[in-house]
Amino acid sequence: MPVRLLNSSVLKWPNRSEVDDAVRAWAGTESVKHPELCGLAYFGSYARGDWGVGSDLDLIAIVRESGEPFHKRALKWDLSALPVPVDLLVYSLEEWHDLSAGESRLARTLAREAIWVFPLRGAFFEACQERLRSST
């Protein structure tokens, strides 16, 4: 989280490089805790480079499958090691496929902005990525 400088009321907010390093380290740790993790990316202001004081981190995790309702999935992930507040979206591979096949605003945003820190591998992922790229 942001740190207060000594004897100052000014907060030092983590920059993009610090957040990227933290997300990559966190992904390595979480991939052990969550072996169902197939891919992890961040998007939004940190990916675009227009973050500022108070910006949160938008993460998308792709898991093999999940029996949990969509709105409860992120609760199983420990986000406390990340230096800024986080919005985590957790999609199953099937949901990711459906998302990438559609033309939603989120799909277009992810195609444009997503920075993959724990990439999915294989033909299925490549096909999904191609669909996302071609929809923009």
Question: Is 16's pLDDT higher than 90?
Answer: yes
Question: Is 23's pLDDT higher than 70?
Answer: yes
Map out the domains of the chain as residue ranges.
3-134
Question: Is 84's pLDDT higher than 60?
Answer: yes
Predicted confidence at residue 127, as pLDDT, reads: 58
Question: Is 9's pLDDT higher than 70?
Answer: no
Cα 20-21-24 angle, rounded to 5 deg: 85
Question: Is 2's pLDDT higher than 90?
Answer: no
Half-sphere exposure of 113 (CA within 13 A, CB side): 19
- CA 30 to chain CA mean position, Å: 12
CATH code of domain 3-134: 3.30.460.10
CA distances, 4 to each of 10, 30, 38, 95 (Å): 6, 28, 36, 41
